[in-house]
Structure 1
Amino acid sequence: MAAAKFSINTTSSFFLVLCLSVILVFTLSCFSSDPDPLQDFCVADLKSTTIVNGFPCKPVSQVTSNDFSYSGLMNETTIVNPFGAGVSSGDVTNFPGLNTLGISTSRVDLVPGGFIPLHVHPRASELIFINKGEVLFGFISTTNVLYSKVLKVGEQFIFPRGLVHFAANVGPGKAVLISAYNSQLPGIALLPLNLFASNPTIPNEILAKNFQVDANVIAIIKSKFGNLIN
């Protein structure tokens, strides 16, 4: 009897700990998600000098229908860089109705042979829809595995948040991409510019050790990007 009684108590204690653990995990997961808005909308006051994790709300009396529409992705973007890529952003900085909604868009135009250089979006995953052309997409996991594929019109590709990714036009003509992000301001860090055109600059010796090349090679690369951003 004693052994049976001990077994029941032990089993009950185990399930109690298990239940408490499940409740704790569920509670933490709820608190870690973005809070729901407490109002119908919060159109961004882009003139405000106080910005803390988003823009303050414009007074409702000043809100108009124009705040909830955006036509910046209609026209082809101007391409004036050696990458052969032009980007039009539809984030909260030019589409104030997106404020607090956790979503934004962009349009990318690629000339034949054009590409979007290696970059990351620190605050969002990116879902790309191919509107025109044939494009090679790829991203690199934290275990250095490359996931890439060539897609055509009507297909989509997803880049997980914070992972290094790229896109290249491999078709005979121009390509047009429409991106959607789960952030009103996804942010972007272009790796080539981060590495070779930062301000202040990363010392050549540091970059040379990282890439296992002579410092003179780094100096040549930096000179190319200096011309690009000036």
Structure 2
Amino acid sequence: MYSIPPLFKFNPYMSQKLPLLSLFLSLLLLLCSSSDPDPVQDFCIPEPGPGPVRLTHLPTYPCKSPANVTSNDFVFSNLTSPPSSNFSPSTGFSGKAVTPVEFPALHTLGMSFARADFLPSGVNPPHYHPRATETALVVEGTVYSGFVDSGGRIFAKVLEKGEVMVFPRGMIHFQMNVGEGRASIFGTFNSENPGLVRIPGTVFGSGIKEELLEKAFGLSEKEVERLRRRFGSM
């Protein structure tokens, strides 16, 4: 009697590899789906206890009792005015990031935000956030803004007051004030800790061997040394 051949022939060698393959696929799915954890309650205002305790590792603190939480816990007022003197002398840029460390009400909510201010011709140098997508709203001035995707394509435009641009997670992006006066941007992130990797400081200020930088960028020894001095403190 004719029998249908099996679709897969048993292979003892492959059967030994299946548990390892299953583990690898499980880890891959876990990494692909990782993000800030979903909250399991409406909010969690950390309760650090008595005394002037600096909140640097919020998950170690219990939540305040909801009965002791007030409206003031959900308000942050330290971004209402632009800085007066703390602009970088080299870039004409000043930025203030707000995470749960600065604003405890953000704890467990999976978001953070920032304010960026620019003097005329000021720049926010190329950088990226490894753990968050950013939306940037121009609240004052005119700003040249953009990002470069993983294929090397640039998406850039001059934004006016009221316009918003989105920077996908992990994409190198930048901003420059191209107006005559000051400019300000308000940015939001879909992570409590988006991270910040500044390209100039990371490349030339982190201690990468000089010989590698010379070959990678076609620079002389003196040029690399100059860039190290320039970006070593960034």
Match of 2:209 in 1: 203
Match of 2:33 in 1: 32
| In structure 2, distance between residues paired with 1:127 and 1:49 | 26
Question: 1:57 Cα shift?
Answer: 4.4
| In structure 1, distance between residues paired with 2:147 and 2:59 | 31
Match of 1:15 in 2: none
Match of 1:138 in 2: 146
Match of 1:72 in 2: 78
Unaligned runs of 5+ in 2: 1-28
| In structure 2, distance between residues paired with 1:90 and 1:73 | 9
| In structure 1, distance between residues paired with 2:70 and 2:130 | 31
| In structure 2, distance between residues paired with 1:160 and 1:211 | 26
Contact 2:55 2:101 in 1 (8 A): no
Q: Alignment partner of 1:209: what SS? A: helix
Of Structure 1 and Structure 2, the greater helix share is in 1
Percent identity between the two aligned chains: 37
1:79-228 equivalent positions in 2, closer than 5 A: 79-198=87-206, 201-226=207-232, 228=233
Deviates more, 1:33-42 or 1:208-217: 33-42
Match of 1:5 in 2: none
Match of 2:63 in 1: 59
| In structure 2, distance between residues paired with 1:101 and 1:43 | 10
Q: Alignment partner of 1:60: what SS? A: coil
| In structure 1, distance between residues paired with 2:55 and 2:138 | 37
| In structure 2, distance between residues paired with 1:114 and 1:45 | 40
**TM norm structure 1:** 0.77
| In structure 2, distance between residues paired with 1:142 and 1:104 | 25
CA spacing shift, 1:76–1:37, aligned 2, 3 Å: same
Question: 1:44 Cα shift?
Answer: 3.8
| In structure 2, distance between residues paired with 1:45 and 1:197 | 38
CA spacing shift, 1:206–1:173, aligned 2, 3 Å: same
CA spacing shift, 1:67–1:211, aligned 2, 3 Å: same
CA RMSD of aligned residues (A): 2.7
1:39-58 equivalent positions in 2, closer than 5 A: 39-44=41-46, 51=57, 55-58=59-62
Query: Quick one: which amino acid aligns to residue 210 of structure 1?
Result: A
| Residues 168-223 of structure 1 deviation map (CA, whole Å, 9 limit, x = unaligned) | 0011110010001111121101111111112xx11111111110222221011112
The size of the alignment, in residue pairs, is: 200
